[in-house]
Structure 1
Amino acid sequence: MRYAIWFLVHLILVIIGFTGVNSSLIIGLVGKDIASGASASLVAAGITGFVLLFHNFFVDRREQLLNNLYDTGMRSAFDGRSVVIKSEYATRLKSSSRIDVIGFGLSSFREDYGDQFVHLARSMKIRVLLLDPTFPSPDHSYADQRDIEEGSPKGTISRDVEAFIKTSSAARASYPDNFEIRLLKCLPSVNYFRFDNELLWGPYLVANQSRNMPTFLVAKGAFLFDRLSDHFEKLWSSSELSAPCENLLGTK
């Protein structure tokens, strides 16, 4: 409505401006020079109003879209994850009291923080969901299938999972209630890394490695954070969708 009123007012200014320059009544009252100058000013004011109208319309539209996106909980987006946005993880790890993670083998997390697992587990609760390299069978596992989808050598994810379990063994032994790992009996649909009231997540796409996938930062307080957090909890708590990593160790 306000855009319509704005448009109408400035349209009237333009019409008066064009009419006034040719009005014998106005020219007779104020003179041709003043009438011409006033008319030009009115036309200029009207045109300026149109420019501002269209500018504000598109700015308001963009602002509305951004507000709608913000209301979902989205705060930022990145063209990659893990090593690509390492600082985003490092900054949040310093102040978090809990982290929840979903990944295939989490090789980057292990390589960057494996030697700090004991230290981290001392002050925060860590829950990790990795892909079970033996499910549904050792010879035809989801892990090997994902290696094919990423274009990696067969066995890459399996070795990463086993390495993560081994690297975290001291932390899990020292702080069993603070550092836990479960193995997924399903292919993860998203990569997920929660730090208290924020989380980084992104889709898994074929023909490229996970670290090169787009990643989004989401804050607590909106539905997207709740949906993703609930997704993690359901995977973590279901005996049909995940199992303790000790089950894998028992098969070795």
Structure 2
Amino acid sequence: MKLDRRHILLVNVLLIAIGVIFLLWAIIAVQTNGKIFLEAIGIGLIAAGGVNFIDKFFSEKEKEDDIKLVSPQRSDADPLIYMTKYRAKKVDIFGVSVTEVFNEFLNDQGEDIVDRVFSHRLRLRMVFVHPDADFLNQRAGEDHISAEELRNRQLNSIKLAIRFYKKLLDEYNLRVKKKGKMSKMGSLEILLIKACPYVSIYRVDNKIYWGLYASHKSGTESPLFLSEKREETGMFDFIKEHYYTHVNNKERFDDLHLIKMTLRDREPYLNRNLVDHLLGKDNVDAFLSQL
């Protein structure tokens, strides 16, 4: 039976109390040998209990849960959680679809996220599933929608990403014209994956909000969990490595970078080969001309 911290502290308090009883017994003892014996036991118990209590109380902190349940359903989570990306230095958004995030960025009149990238060194990465990924056929059934509907949603995310690229490009050119080189510029990557993501991830600095893609429920109906970075390896590092494996697998995913802006003296890059393949070159030309 493994005792937790509270039980160990209680046991040591009990040892001290028993030690005090032996000392009191020694005081009223008549025989000298018995008095010495009782005092030795009492002092030993008090010393052992006291040292262990101090060590456990001051040197060991109560361990917090490595996984916290934030909300039984992601759709019911506090919206303020998703506002933390506007104060963070590192933001990773990873999942089957990120359509809502694109819409949020594009409808942001204050252009807060764009300003965070250009003026506050925000490192933003967004990853979502390729419209032609085989995995989408399975996920569509789990989300209770048709495969065609889910593919169209992914294609719409591509269009939203192009609009976001144009917004970034316009802002980049405007700032370069006014200020020249931007010393405080961060970086941005948006890429596609063809593999199953298994989890949705919203990482803001040292916190990762995550949820499983379960086979019996849609993503929004599934629980949202939180894991925070600690000194020792934990769930935060485990999930981060899962995500980074997709992001850093250059051999498989280099051609799936949709948008990239990682160098301060380079404008945002749009992977025209990729978007032309997905949407058609003429459609992309027409779409860009309207922006």
Calculate the TM-score normalised by the size of structure 2: 0.55
Figure out how many residues of one structure are paired with residues of the other and give that number.
188
User: Residues 169, 186 of structure 1: CA spacing in aligned structure 2 closer, same or farther, 3 A cutoff?
Assistant: same
Distance (Å, rounded) in 1 between the aligned partners of 2:187 and 2:106: 15
User: What's the counterpart of residue 41 of structure 1?
Assistant: none
Q: Which residue of 1 aligns with 2:246?
A: 235
**Aligned-pair identity (%):** 19
What residue is the counterpart of 1:250 in the other structure?
276
Q: Determine if the alignment matches structure 1 residue 216 to structure 2 residue 196.
A: no
Is 2:113 the partner of 1:102? no
Aligned amino acid, residue 190 of structure 1? V
Partners of 2:276 and 2:186 in 1: CA distance: 20
The amino acid of 1:231's aligned partner reads H
Give the deviation of 1:205 after TM superposition: 1.1
Partner of 1:155: 149
Q: Is the 8 A contact 1:171 1:179 kept in 2?
A: no
Q: Which residue of 1 aligns with 2:130?
A: 132
Q: 2:189 & 2:218 partners in 1: Cα distance? A: 25
Q: Decide whether aligned partners of structure 1 residues 71 and 79 sit closer, same or farther in structure 2, where only a CA change above 3 A counts.
A: closer
Distance 2:241 2:202 in 1: 13
Equivalent residues of 1:105, 1:160 under 8 A apart: no
Query: Counterparts in 2 of 1:38-77, with a 5 A limit?
Result: 70-72=64-66, 74-77=67-70
Task: Kindly state the Cα deviation for residue 214 of structure 1 after the two structures are TM-superposed.
Answer: 0.6
Computed over aligned residues only, the root mean square deviation of the Cα atoms, in angstroms, reads 3.2
Work out whether residues 93 and 126 of structure 2, in 8 Å CA contact, stay in contact via their aligned partners in 1.
yes
Counterpart in the other structure of 2:179:
none
Residues 146 and 248 from structure 1, CA distance in 2 versus in 1: closer, same or farther, beyond 3 angstroms?
farther
Deviation of the 1:199 alpha carbon: 1.2
Alpha carbons 1:82, 1:109 under 8 Å: kept: no
Q: Which of 1 and 2 has greater Rg?
A: 1
How far, CA to CA, are the matches of 1:88 and 1:177 in structure 2?
22
Secondary structure at the counterpart of residue 145 of structure 2? coil
Q: Is the alpha carbon distance of 1:81 and 1:205 closer, same or farther for their aligned partners in structure 2, counting shifts above 3 Å? A: same
Give the aligned partner of residue 37 of structure 1: none
Q: Could you state the TM-score of these two structures normalised by the residue count of structure 1?
A: 0.63
Give the residue type in structure 1 aligned to 2:189. Answer: E
CA spacing shift, 1:151–1:76, aligned 2, 3 Å:
closer
Give the match's secondary structure for 1:143: helix
For structure 2, the residue ranges without an aligned partner over 5 or more in a row are 1-7, 18-61, 173-184, 259-270, 281-291
1:188 aligned partner, one-letter code: P
Aligned to 1:145: 138
Query: Which of 165, 170, 188 is matched with 2:166 structurally?
Result: 170
1:198 to 196, 203, 207: 207
